[in-house]
Structure 1
Amino acid sequence: MDTFSESEIARFYNGRCVFITGGTGFMGKVLVEKLLRSCPGLKNMYLLLRNKKGLAPRQRLEQLLNDKIFERIREENPKSLNKIIPISGDITVDGLGISQNDLNQLVKNVSVIFHSAATIKFEEPLRVAVNYNMLGTRRVIKLAHQIPQLEALVHVSTAYANCDRQKIDEVIYDPKITPQQLIDAIEWMSDEMIENILPKLLGARPNTYTLTKALAETMIMEECGSLPVAIVRPSIVTASRREPYPGWVDNIHNVTGIFLASSKGVLRSLYLNSSAVLDIIPVDIVINLMITVAWNTATKPQNSILIYNCSSGMLNPITIGDIEKYTFPLAIKYPCSEHFRYPGLTIRSNRFLHNVFVLLDHYMPAYIFDTISALTGGNRMMVRIYEKLHKATEQLVFFATRQWQFKSTNIRDLQEQLSEVDQKTFCFDVKQIHWPQYLEDYYLGIRRYILKEENSTIPAARKNLKRLYFTNKTIEYLIFFGLFNAFMYRSGAGSYIWSSAKSKLFDFVQSQV
């Protein structure tokens, strides 16, 4: 008997149809791939797709299925890809922009809904964030009410929806403003008025993303009625631990962007608390939990909405200092083929000292590079890159300098209900994460899936990095001794030290030849 026939969760999906919003996003792709591969009895999968960049939904689906993430399925069971049916629509439009014919198809066939579509831009204007994260959720709820055989609606929130609290239980907290009050207010307020009241609306929250995700949870509680609903709250979602491939990632958001920028020698200083726990969670763990939660919601009806805080910080913590210790050697062991400078990231807890190094080690080299580039007919880009990088890292500072305690009783209870087969097939046990191995796979994943550099290029990249190291050290010596010569050469002691230093520089050069 094969594994999937032994899996109670996989059997649940036999003959059933699912509807997914956000299916082309980072998490959505992993969800689609995992369902197709691990639940082969699934009947059909409907993906909500909008027109984007001149591509119609059908074209976007073809583009999606050519993604590297589906390579394993294309090799093992290509016919399963025919189960994916594009539904033309838009989360930001009333009725989800779905045609009547498509609506009839969903109402007739769908049993499970996974709602993961959202804007994840932290600094999104409030009006836009409300439309995506709150009104989008309302539109999905309205659709769910029309589906008579709906067995589960899994809503993806965030562990930081209630980041204004230190201890976060698996409950929906009462908001200071109701969802409808906020929706009504932004309908008549000008953008200027919204900006003026935003600090008060946010309170201790850092951005519109966490605010609107929290209010979306309240909206679900108020409007779902008797619908079978569950909420999954992941923390900082990062590259896959195991599936579809170790280290798979397709974007440069949050931690991935920092790893990439530091490996290329661009990011040199980062203002964080080294002793703080960075609550990262591999994307495949989140997806396995979502699939399992849908099964549990359908087969074991609850009297209330169950919340699942999907995080690692309480059960298998890793500090920022540990991440720094594990990852810096990886930038040398698995270097990328091209660098701006030799890798050398330092985590600093002193804001003033960090700002000094940002000026000296970020902006000064960037302006020098852009000046030389402009004089030689090239593009000025490094200053712009640093401006974007600093904005992105500042957004992470709030989450990487504070600590939260996420209660995860529901996840532990769910884990205990699973058979041995399902615990392995749909693993969401964060205690099984071995951080050094995971981070190594993460780095290799960035090389392969973001930079498109195969492992076969590593030996040549190491040689390039060694030459870069030699060049950097030579420049550093020349600058230091040049300055030293300018200020001290005329003194007898300075002359002696200068001669000795030149001898050491000569020995160093000889050792590298």
Structure 2
Amino acid sequence: MFGGWHRYDVSLGINTMGVKHVVNFAKRCSKLKVLVHVSTAYVCGEKEGPIKETQYEMGETLNGVTGLDIDAEVNLAQSKLGELSAMGSSPKEISMAMKDLGLSRARKYGWPNTYVFTKAMGEMLVGQLKGDLPVAISRPTIVISTYEEPFPGWIEGVRTIDSVLVGYGKGKVTCFLCDPKGIIDMIPADMVVNSIIAAMVANAGRYGRPLKEAIYQVGSSLENPIRYCQVEEFMNRHFSKHPWINKEGKAVIVGKIKLLSSMASFQRHMALRYLLWFKGLEVANAALCNFFQGTCVDMNRKIDFMMRLIEIYRPYLFFQGVFDNMNTDKLRASVRENGSTSDENIFNFDPKSIDWDYYFREIHLVGLVKYVFK
């Protein structure tokens, strides 16, 4: 979910036009029983309070600005790409310009980043093109390591909150920007998969079913919420008891992470911790005939990159929405009613069954260390 800083042309190609091609292909498959489109719960943008499992209509925007046209967006991205190529821009310059274009287009219509904007347009195309095809949309929140299947703690790569957990365990992250009492909506990967399987069964062969009845938000904020301050406590207890052993064979001792509850407090922290030191380095570099030039350039790039990421992810760090799951709850009920007790256990996607304390300390963090830490 939080891959917001992406090239606009690439995101449009995958998250928007890719959906169009899949739906059109599916409509030509005479024996197809159901198509499940995996989106993200965060197509809602920065909405607060209860967030319903509602359908996006073609051209709908989050801020009411009119004029959103998917074909025009694709043409704009291709035109910009051609313009940059004609100017002889480097691959790095092209990549940065396309990322900035995506961010500006998303924000024009009320979405906080390119990823969720292009995902929302993908949903619009599903609704417009599906016809009578049986279609369901899955909207998971932040997907984390598996709870049970294929085994507890399985994970590939580092995403969203996991980058903070990894950095903390390695002793590299000492502070984090968030609302300590804010809810972070997470759901284990196997529960997402189980919900998709259940959605396939529930919607197979249901031609002409309204899409609004088959949109499933899969998360935990409504029925089993977990807060940032709890995550901080879990990771501190885990890594204090089980410190990571680095490549030199030394245990990395961690302390309490500092939670910064506002952008102002984050900016103050950055100024005191890094920017003043950086300014001093620049003065020394000038006095010593650019002796520290390489260090200055590298530090400036890292600070700029971090500030850009914080700005992109800020809406989620202080997210105040709670994802309603009425359709998903009905889906769970259908598994109970139409299957056996073993089916309900095998295809579990009930967030109420998660013990967050146990999950983080005995499953998720153990899995991160085993499969992600290098």
**TM-score, with length taken from structure 2:** 0.77
1:213: which partner in 2? 119
| Alignment partner of 1:327 is 2:235 | yes
Q: Hey, what's the Cα distance between the residues in 2 that align with 1:263 and 1:367?
A: 29
2:33: which partner in 1? 151
Q: Tell me the SS of whatever aligns to 1:129.
A: helix
Q: Hey, what's the Cα distance between the residues in 1 that align with 2:194 and 2:279?
A: 46
Cα distance per residue 1:55-95 (max 9 Å; x no partner): xxxxxxxxxxxxxxxxxxxxxxxxxxxxxxxxxxxxxxxxx
| Alignment partner of 1:239 is 2:177 | no
Alpha carbons 2:2, 2:160 under 8 Å: kept = no
Q: Hey, what's the Cα distance between the residues in 2 that align with 1:313 and 1:302?
A: 31
Give runs of aligned pairs for residues 238-317 of structure 1, distance below 5 A. 238-298=144-204, 303-305=209-211, 306-317=214-225
Q: Specify which structure has the bigger relative contact order, considering alpha-carbon pairs within 8 angstroms and separated by 6 or more residues.
A: 2
Alpha carbons 2:4, 2:113 under 8 Å: kept = yes
1:169: which partner in 2? 52
Equivalent AA in structure 2 for residue 199 of structure 1: S
2:366: which partner in 1? 444
Q: Hey, what's the Cα distance between the residues in 1 that align with 2:238 and 2:298?
A: 24
| Alignment partner of 1:435 is 2:317 | no
| C-alpha displacement of 1:215 | 0.6
Equivalent AA in structure 1 for residue 328 of structure 2: I
Aligned counterpart for 1:354 among listed residues 260, 263, 266: 266
Q: CA RMSD in A?
A: 3.3
| C-alpha displacement of 1:238 | 1.1
| C-alpha displacement of 1:423 | 1.2
| C-alpha displacement of 1:200 | 5.6
Could you say if the C-alpha distance between residues 204 and 386 of structure 1 is closer, same or farther in structure 2, counting changes exceeding 3 Å?
same
Could you say if the C-alpha distance between residues 280 and 365 of structure 1 is closer, same or farther in structure 2, counting changes exceeding 3 Å?
farther
| C-alpha displacement of 1:358 | 3.4
Q: Hey, what's the Cα distance between the residues in 2 that align with 1:380 and 1:331?
A: 33
| C-alpha displacement of 1:193 | 10
Q: Hey, what's the Cα distance between the residues in 2 that align with 1:343 and 1:148?
A: 59
Alpha carbons 1:254, 1:393 under 8 Å: kept = no
| Alignment partner of 1:136 is 2:18 | yes
Q: Tell me the SS of whatever aligns to 1:250.
A: coil
Cα distance per residue 1:269-289 (max 9 Å; x no partner): 111111110111111111111
Alpha carbons 1:254, 1:392 under 8 Å: kept = no
Equivalent AA in structure 2 for residue 397 of structure 1: R
| C-alpha displacement of 1:350 | 3.7
Q: Hey, what's the Cα distance between the residues in 1 that align with 2:98 and 2:311?
A: 25
Bigger Rg, structure 1 or 2? 1
Q: Hey, what's the Cα distance between the residues in 1 that align with 2:71 and 2:243?
A: 51
Could you say if the C-alpha distance between residues 289 and 197 of structure 1 is closer, same or farther in structure 2, counting changes exceeding 3 Å?
closer
Q: Tell me the SS of whatever aligns to 1:281.
A: strand
Q: Tell me the SS of whatever aligns to 2:204.
A: helix
Alpha carbons 2:11, 2:115 under 8 Å: kept = yes
Q: Hey, what's the Cα distance between the residues in 1 that align with 2:102 and 2:16?
A: 19
Give runs of aligned pairs for residues 353-502 of structure 1, distance below 5 A. 353-361=265-273, 383=299, 392=309, 394-418=311-335, 419=339, 420-440=341-361, 441-451=363-373
| C-alpha displacement of 1:342 | 3.7
1:337: which partner in 2? 245
Could you say if the C-alpha distance between residues 200 and 393 of structure 1 is closer, same or farther in structure 2, counting changes exceeding 3 Å?
closer
Q: Hey, what's the Cα distance between the residues in 1 that align with 2:274 and 2:345?
A: 45
Alpha carbons 1:258, 1:393 under 8 Å: kept = no
Q: Hey, what's the Cα distance between the residues in 2 that align with 1:196 and 1:278?
A: 28
| C-alpha displacement of 1:179 | 2.4
Alpha carbons 1:179, 1:216 under 8 Å: kept = no
Q: Hey, what's the Cα distance between the residues in 1 that align with 2:172 and 2:303?
A: 8
Alpha carbons 1:248, 1:445 under 8 Å: kept = yes
| C-alpha displacement of 1:208 | 0.8
| C-alpha displacement of 1:404 | 1.1
Q: Hey, what's the Cα distance between the residues in 2 that align with 1:334 and 1:435?
A: 18
Q: Tell me the SS of whatever aligns to 1:127.
A: helix
Alpha carbons 1:241, 1:438 under 8 Å: kept = yes
Alpha carbons 1:155, 1:231 under 8 Å: kept = yes
Q: Tell me the SS of whatever aligns to 1:421.
A: helix
| Alignment partner of 1:318 is 2:235 | no
1:467: which partner in 2? none
Q: Tell me the SS of whatever aligns to 2:226.
A: coil
| C-alpha displacement of 1:299 | 5.3
Q: Hey, what's the Cα distance between the residues in 2 that align with 1:201 and 1:447?
A: 35
Cα distance per residue 1:295-347 (max 9 Å; x no partner): 11115556212100111111111111121122211121121112777444111
Q: Tell me the SS of whatever aligns to 1:232.
A: strand
Alpha carbons 2:46, 2:319 under 8 Å: kept = no
Cα distance per residue 1:330-369 (max 9 Å; x no partner): 121121112777444111114333334335556789999x
Q: Hey, what's the Cα distance between the residues in 1 that align with 2:145 and 2:298?
A: 27
Q: Hey, what's the Cα distance between the residues in 1 that align with 2:356 and 2:364?
A: 10
Q: Hey, what's the Cα distance between the residues in 2 that align with 1:316 and 1:366?
A: 43
| Percentage of identical aligned residues | 25
Q: Tell me the SS of whatever aligns to 1:233.
A: strand
Q: Which moved more, 1:435-444 or 1:123-132?
A: 123-132
Gap regions ≥5 residues in structure 2: 62-67, 85-96, 281-290
Gap regions ≥5 residues in structure 1: 1-118, 369-374, 453-513
Q: Hey, what's the Cα distance between the residues in 1 that align with 2:24 and 2:73?
A: 19
Could you say if the C-alpha distance between residues 200 and 225 of structure 1 is closer, same or farther in structure 2, counting changes exceeding 3 Å?
same
Alpha carbons 2:40, 2:141 under 8 Å: kept = yes
| C-alpha displacement of 1:198 | 5.5
Q: Hey, what's the Cα distance between the residues in 1 that align with 2:142 and 2:254?
A: 28
Q: Hey, what's the Cα distance between the residues in 1 that align with 2:275 and 2:243?
A: 23
Q: Hey, what's the Cα distance between the residues in 2 that align with 1:334 and 1:367?
A: 38
1:8: which partner in 2? none
Could you say if the C-alpha distance between residues 238 and 367 of structure 1 is closer, same or farther in structure 2, counting changes exceeding 3 Å?
farther
Could you say if the C-alpha distance between residues 423 and 395 of structure 1 is closer, same or farther in structure 2, counting changes exceeding 3 Å?
farther
Q: Hey, what's the Cα distance between the residues in 2 that align with 1:394 and 1:331?
A: 29
